[in-house]
Structure 1
Amino acid sequence: MKKNLLKGAVASAIVLATVAFTNVKKQIDVKSSEVTWTGEKVTGSHEGTIEFKDGYLSVDDDKILGGEFIIDMTSINVTDLEGDNKAKLEGHLKSDDFFGVANHPTSKLVITSASKKSGNTYGVVGDLTIKGKTNPVTFDLVWDGDTATADLSIDRTKYDVRYGSGSFFDNLGDKTIYDNFDLEVELKF
């Protein structure tokens, strides 16, 4: 009887250990992963990059279960301007008019669910936090095990980023900045 109990306990321990280790956190390579942003206004657009501070996908048998990504808001970079204009726009984007990076140096995306749609494409639901405000987001993510890509469109006004928004201010004319900004994300593991 003791032998059977011992065998049962060992078998249970092996099963639990196997189950516990199938859920793996795949860390991103923060140096080679990138986010490219585009913001548009009535008279044109601007684009740039922003860096990751940390991030991972939680996977089980090559199936995405969740994940968490931290963005370094102090790394906002404008790539379509040079010199004083570049420095001026970067400073403005980091100010309280926009992302207030002195008080909110990071933003975070937490993937709450992901379901396979077809091939390597997942429909993702997550919570995005910018300037301390959290809102749900949905997007498609294409993942091949070594890289993942996603395109997101974010309504900045949901995160208290209202500067130049025609939804909140009248008579802006050609100074209106559209509410949505776009992110192209490329993750490398």
Structure 2
Amino acid sequence: MDSRALAIFILFGLLLMTGCGSGENTQQAEPAASAQEQSNSAAKTPFVPLDACTLLSKADVETITGKTVLDPAKQEMANLSTCSYGDPESPKLPNGHVLSNVLTVSVFTGEEGAYYAGPVAQAKDIFETARKNAASPQKVAGLGEDAYWDSTLHTLHVYLSKYQLEFDVDPEKGLDLARAVAEKAITKLP
């Protein structure tokens, strides 16, 4: 896993811990749920975050970047899905992973019932926390509900509904490439 993906996973973990709360519970205990309520909750489908690899095909990435890329490599952790399109000219590690990617797309999906303020606020809070921690955030207009470019990490961050998306691009290509990729990916959001 490259250092940027590791940083995303660490940020996500920290945000989950802060959202869990640490204060005392001052509410009185709720009565036990009825058999009907227990049956309904058991029938709920488990939460599945949006798969980042569904937003852009290998052909999409090759067309937009003008470079040949490896097949998409997916990683998931809780609400975060990451899809990396490796550079075939990059050196390979013993485990087969490449050292550099042409593009990495990360999608955080807000989850109903997992955050005190709801899934949209969960995604927005993740977005705002990342912006506050960015070394040089530059506002980007016309993408999602809010967007910024982090020129230090070569990453475009986009907030839209219950999604917080990140597009990590080749440093040589910059914001123009990240914007083109984001515009294409956003059209495929559910």
Report the TM-score range of the alignment, normalised by the length of the smaller protein.
0.3 to 0.5
When the two structures are superposed, what TM-score results if normalisation uses the length of structure 1?
0.35
Q: Which has the higher strand share?
A: 1
When the two structures are superposed, what TM-score results if normalisation uses the length of structure 2?
0.35
Q: Which has the larger radius of gyration?
A: 1
Q: Which has the higher helix share?
A: 2
